[in-house]
Amino acid sequence: MSDDDKRPQDEAVEKELEGVPEHMLDKEGEGEEAGEGLAEALAALKADLDAARQEVLYAKADTQNVRRRLEKDIQDARAYAATGFARDILSVADNLARALDALPVEVREDEKMKGFVTGIEATQRELEKVFGQHGVTRIASVGLPLDPNQHQAMLEIPTAEHEPGTVVQEMMAGYMIKDRLLRPAMVGVAKKPD
């Protein structure tokens, strides 16, 4: 096309395309090849976009899993924060129970000691109440089959009165904190007599 044959529309297009690198311009006769190259580039971009979408989905799922795990860890920390303290205070509860068990009937009925005994009993009730408020519960033992998840067998007692494997004596009470074992019950288990 000569310069005389150029229309004003073509001149506007040329002005618009000034500064565009040559390899990006669509030349006459190269339209088909350029169209094929464009289709390949478009397909590659679509594949990249799909891959990026997939990575975003994986990242979202991973973030959600991390968030759930952290929420569970926070709940566990709140629920079981007092575990160490509760484990330590169990020995105080044991000693208080032993003190009450050791009091003879005469001392319990003595008018001078009634206030003292009542105070110790009230302290024990208050301690049990506080345990209950914090999810610390006593494990049932005597008369039940041995549960290795909650009981620790300390000795075997030969007896014909109970089935073998039944807890017949509790030497030290066991406790749970919510659904976790705080301390196993120390027990004596029945066995067949020799």
Same domain, 47 and 124: no
What DSSP state is assigned to residue 140?
P
Task: Give yes or no for residue 6 having a pLDDT over 60.
Answer: no
How many Å from the N-terminal Cα to the C-terminal Cα in the chain? 120
Question: What is the reported pLDDT for 81?
Answer: 83
Residue 18 lies in a domain: no
Give the domain extent around 180: 83-191
The more confident residue out of 22 and 177 is 177
Last residue of a domain, one of 57, 79, 101: 79
Last residue of a domain, one of 79, 94, 116: 79
Query: Tell me: the pLDDT tens digits for 100-124?
Result: 989 898 888 888 888 989 999 999 9
3 state DSSP class of 164:
coil
Please calculate the CA angle 172-165-146 and round it to the nearest 5 degrees. Answer: 45
pTM of the model: 0.62
Structural domain count of the chain: 2
Same domain, 63 and 89: no
Residue 68 lies in a domain: yes
Instruction: Output the CA torsion sign for 102, 104, 109, 112.
Output: negative
Query: Tell me: the pLDDT tens digits for 61-102?
Result: 999 999 999 999 998 888 888 888 888 999 999 999 998 989
Same domain, 69 and 93: no
Last residue of a domain, one of 44, 61, 79: 79
Residue 4 lies in a domain: no
- Nearest CA to 186 out of 124, 99, 101, 94 is that of 94
Same domain, 112 and 69: no
- Cα–Cα distances in angstroms (integers) from residue 108 to residues 27, 66, 92, 93, 187, in the given order: 113, 59, 21, 20, 29
Task: Give yes or no for residue 2 having a pLDDT over 80.
Answer: no
Instruction: Output the CA torsion sign for 140, 146, 151, 152.
Output: positive
Residue 63 lies in a domain: yes
Query: What's the chain's Rg over C-alpha atoms?
Result: 41
Residue 15 lies in a domain: no
The CATH number of the domain holding residue 131 is 2.30.22.10
Residue 97 lies in a domain: yes
